[in-house]
Structure 1
């Protein structure tokens, strides 16, 4: 029986009818976006994988779980015997529950003994996470509560299109606007979020750090800094001033592609406001200087003292379903649970004591997600377990990734559907959906939430964590992975995180059921957790935040051969690489195929008509999409969504350079050219 036959609906069978209703909670207040309202469609899709699939004679066909688990253990063990433990890699996802993310890190280090583990959140939050840790001593999406947003007098939204990417949050900003807040949007496109703004700075991609510096110079020149806050609660201000001494406002504005008068207006609005917030997202962060760009925006926050009180703070707008929790408990290359460092001996010793292993047995720091793909290509990694991700679509420089995955001796993918990566696998493992598994998620404000199981698991699907436990047992590590429920894993996570930056020790399933969410850090059962951070001190040992005085190089690699800037992002109906949302008829119908958004003047220059197929090419490769001509984008910029694979995959042309601090790829800036695809007459 083929995969298609297994997924086909039964002829004549009436499909069930469902009513979707949001569950009230403190964050979303019961609101659902279009993706949430239709998520049940992919969970109930006839294309769901219901049985393990193994490749025989070049084709994927059904097999038993016993055969699948035994095959994994045997192949892993054979490759480890030949090439060492690090020949096996583990690639996770930012939408996994906290329990699975935690267990994936433990599985890699205890069951496999490999240092090679990372996850697709590297492409999402790593720049903001590393910048927050460096400047504030802690990474948490928001330093304030969502309910504080309406109290802000000025809000700067840099590189974030909340109206389409996080629409359930938009009412907070509408309420702030009703209360008189001045909203500034920084984006190369006039997005739906820019439409609600009082001021839109249409910055040139790659120049965000310089724009932040220019705003800060205006604020300093106007005397709108907070000397008391700077003196009492920060260090590095004098060095930062020296770094800005030679900044020429007119030249900087020209490099940013924004009129200086508009930059001054934005700076004065933020500087003069009694309360204010700055929020960044992927537009600022998915760049090869994303780490530094975020730190330069944080300079604005610190210089004006707008943090640690109601209506103030910095926020990184999280994208994936568990974008915050997924990066806290060990599926990052350099991390142990509780946001501990794998290179810190005390951290290693503590977590090893919780796991019951010798600290010396824990492997060291691995590499980032894209660097793992490079090691796959070089055959340093010869087997790969992918869980909750689709790297053949989501990575930059996709041609190298495709070539590397084909070289693998053994590829296992755990997914709900036969994704582009799963189609290349030797073994595909069917997993439960959000409706069928239980576990915790942590939202962007650091509030831990419990998602209860809503219906039984269909077919032979298993929870991600259950699959990991079965593999570990087959590898002879069963004693380290004895869990009967997700709550058992969470209780171990609580202990493993205790005393760490992301301390969950005081949070229990019982509390989450009763209180409908608890903020971390929460070190004891009687603690309420901290929603508003840094009221009295920052998370560094000295209690102070650090100004950034290092300059940021920016980006400007366009040439006569590749004169345009390619940037990418999201659209309202789709999510990540579309593995799930493309299986939802209601969502797929809204955007059936990928497109490139380009300015009318650019279209005229390249003789491109609206709606026709075009090819976009960089030095790394090319892809093909339809054109969509709009005057809402800069003339030097092309925008392409990230939700499609194959020949429509924007990452066929993105570049492989990485941020030196956080290893974030430069998704938002690639030098390209464009041409129409027409039949010769």
Structure 2
């Protein structure tokens, strides 16, 4: 072959395209849409495209985030080697050196200050295997009681409410496809059209089948545009609305008395409490008309079937637990639970917000939804782990309270996996101060986030295209995310990182796994007999059946698709009504004042996810929405001298932030709205107080008192 022929051959070889297909799941919301990412390489350059895959939950649908999720996985800014901070600057290192630094510092701090000197902070996007392993690592690898995760800010109100009312917390009590046949649907504090777009076709089908849809939200959204009735409530008054709906349902005789007397506890006590409510006065207080509230009660009470979905709008309140309990009361009063097309759904936010809270990375939980305060539960898990029950730490504190303990210097060290607390926590200025005060911090991260920047060691972790594992979607279906793309650079899976840290601390025998599946098989055993029982689920079975519902106690069990048809998961098999007299307590909520005359509420947008760590590294998504904003009603804007497109300053007792003003008639005149995806000067959580729900420890993200003024540069 002469030189010309050889050159021509090489040119043809370089121009030939090679195609690789990665079957996976979207890393973002709890719908967990299945998809294929197709990588085409030509002449050394890669191009990508994404197509949806058929599956029982989303049927091949994808939203704009899911279509572009590959962009952060292949981004040039990914951390691909361990980093160690010297004199305030990060430098690349070997894994061996990074682990040696971690070992030295953790052992020193625990020797000097005790096991609880180190804390572990996880995330709701970790796989079930990694969430399980993180809880085990905290308690066995470190012996610390301080472990919690960012799902505390997402689902804790719904989780605690479902557990208290029904004895069990699973995202949906019914299969998601039953929504289409439900005759009345209440969407309380959820904007699914932007946050979970692939959920919306079920609502559209329900409307076509004659369903009456009620949306509860202080602002007009793409979701409220679908509604037959929009209750544009004042922020933070959802608990009162729930009580009023109960009042009208009882008053108008829509109660299923047989169901209430045979299958519930506390019915008579609730009736006594509702009897004294004054609807006219309370409706004025919450910013709604008696007619609208009465109609909502009539529509739900009279419907042959009904479902209620709650999300962060009503849950992220300092009385979020009680609020959700009152909405669950509506289901119990009308007997719309445990039946086809009737039930409850907590619209899970994070990819594995459901599974993440079931298997032990919460302060109060052990795998299988067991309680760390229950001696029998502790003994069972200790036996599975091969340790003495007495060696397991006691209950710790919630995620934000860990930040307070760090700021108080009770906690000296932090291991952060899959979260960005500087942006996601309330009272962000305190979190900044807390992380600055740490003696030692490790972060397992893909990118240099606002929180990772505080670390002394950063360990590079794999993306969703590279990291196999199970996740539990919104409806309680355990799915398997296949991941065949090779790890980027020296990055490792979170479960490998956890295991390697445990090994250098002398606990390697408890963490000797060779795959995610081997961890899952231990998780199955650890969950066996618990309320979140995964024992009958295996990787092979998930592949065969496209996901399996829990509880699934044996390989012969089909998994329960409609919960509570015969009995509830409580001690006596009956559900529990909630009435304020049962546990009356004062709930601290911010009120407006002369200094802070407006309310602000926060939320998500279509184009971004959580703290933006991933979506803001997508060129297509950041082009759609490259900065934060605040919605201001035209009348409010005029009163405060602010104009659309200009910067404004929002201030509260906790701090201030600067955002772009967007004039909108879709928000109440007394309320502002801003998304929570940005950090720095745009971090909206600088305005949010650290007050917590007394039951579930949820912060009050959805209501803060603020001032508004035009921005003036110095």
- If the length of structure 2 is used for normalisation, what is the TM-score? 0.93
User: What is aligned with 2:571?
Assistant: 541
Counterparts in 2 of 1:589 and 1:15: CA distance versus 1, 3 Å: farther
1:15: Cα distance to partner? 3.8
Report the Cα distance in structure 2 between the residues aligned to 1:347 and 1:601, rounded to whole angstroms.
57
* Contact 2:184 2:307 (8 Å CA) reproduced: yes
Report the Cα distance in structure 2 between the residues aligned to 1:15 and 1:348, rounded to whole angstroms.
53
Q: Of residues 349, 362, 366 in structure 1, which corresponds to 2:396? A: 366
Report the Cα distance in structure 1 between the residues aligned to 2:560 and 2:121, rounded to whole angstroms.
31
Report the Cα distance in structure 1 between the residues aligned to 2:713 and 2:156, rounded to whole angstroms.
44
3-state DSSP of counterpart to 1:21 = strand
Report the Cα distance in structure 1 between the residues aligned to 2:56 and 2:539, rounded to whole angstroms.
17
Report the Cα distance in structure 2 between the residues aligned to 1:521 and 1:200, rounded to whole angstroms.
35
- 1:485 to 2:520 alignment: no
Report the Cα distance in structure 2 between the residues aligned to 1:61 and 1:28, rounded to whole angstroms.
43
Report the Cα distance in structure 1 between the residues aligned to 2:698 and 2:43, rounded to whole angstroms.
47
Q: Of residues 630, 636, 639 in structure 2, which corresponds to 1:602? A: 636
- 1:398 to 2:432 alignment: no
1:552: Cα distance to partner? 7.6
* Contact 1:209 1:552 (8 Å CA) reproduced: no
1:453: Cα distance to partner? 1.3
1:239: Cα distance to partner? 0.6
Counterparts in 2 of 1:474 and 1:228: CA distance versus 1, 3 Å: same
3-state DSSP of counterpart to 2:52 = coil
Report the Cα distance in structure 1 between the residues aligned to 2:249 and 2:538, rounded to whole angstroms.
45
1:260: Cα distance to partner? 1.1
User: What is aligned with 2:330?
Assistant: 300
User: What is aligned with 1:652?
Assistant: 686
- If the length of structure 1 is used for normalisation, what is the TM-score? 0.97
1:58: Cα distance to partner? 1.2
1:382: Cα distance to partner? 0.6
User: What is aligned with 2:5?
Assistant: none
* Contact 1:289 1:552 (8 Å CA) reproduced: no
Q: How does 1:327-338 map to 2 (within 5 A)?
A: 327-338=357-368
User: What is aligned with 1:3?
Assistant: none
Q: Of residues 615, 618, 628 in structure 1, which corresponds to 2:662? A: 628
Report the Cα distance in structure 1 between the residues aligned to 2:304 and 2:106, rounded to whole angstroms.
59
Report the Cα distance in structure 1 between the residues aligned to 2:249 and 2:487, rounded to whole angstroms.
57
Deviations 1:599-628 (A, max 9, x none): 111101101100110100001110100001
Deviations 1:537-565 (A, max 9, x none): 00002110000111686746111111111
Q: How does 1:184-583 map to 2 (within 5 A)?
A: 184-550=214-580, 555=589, 557-583=591-617
Report the Cα distance in structure 1 between the residues aligned to 2:114 and 2:585, rounded to whole angstroms.
40
Deviations 1:130-182 (A, max 9, x none): 00000000011111110100010000000000000000110000000000000
User: What is aligned with 1:49?
Assistant: 79
User: What is aligned with 2:102?
Assistant: 72
Q: How does 1:11-22 map to 2 (within 5 A)?
A: 15-22=45-52
3-state DSSP of counterpart to 2:471 = strand
- 1:26 to 2:60 alignment: no
1:678: Cα distance to partner? 3.1
Deviations 1:15-64 (A, max 9, x none): 41112011211111111111110000010111111011110121011000
* Contact 1:143 1:313 (8 Å CA) reproduced: yes
* Contact 1:118 1:369 (8 Å CA) reproduced: yes
1:531: Cα distance to partner? 1.0
3-state DSSP of counterpart to 1:455 = coil
1:375: Cα distance to partner? 0.4
Report the Cα distance in structure 2 between the residues aligned to 1:594 and 1:164, rounded to whole angstroms.
16
* Contact 2:590 2:704 (8 Å CA) reproduced: no
Report the Cα distance in structure 2 between the residues aligned to 1:74 and 1:497, rounded to whole angstroms.
34
Report the Cα distance in structure 1 between the residues aligned to 2:446 and 2:713, rounded to whole angstroms.
39
Q: What CA RMSD, in Å, does the superposition of the two structures yield over aligned residues?
A: 1.1
3-state DSSP of counterpart to 2:141 = helix
1:458: Cα distance to partner? 1.4
- Any unmatched runs of 5+ in structure 2? 1-41
Name the stretch that deviates more: 121-130 or 256-265.
Answer: 256-265
1:256: Cα distance to partner? 1.1
- 1:107 to 2:137 alignment: yes
Q: Of residues 651, 671, 676 in structure 1, which corresponds to 2:705? A: 671
Report the Cα distance in structure 2 between the residues aligned to 1:396 and 1:507, rounded to whole angstroms.
37
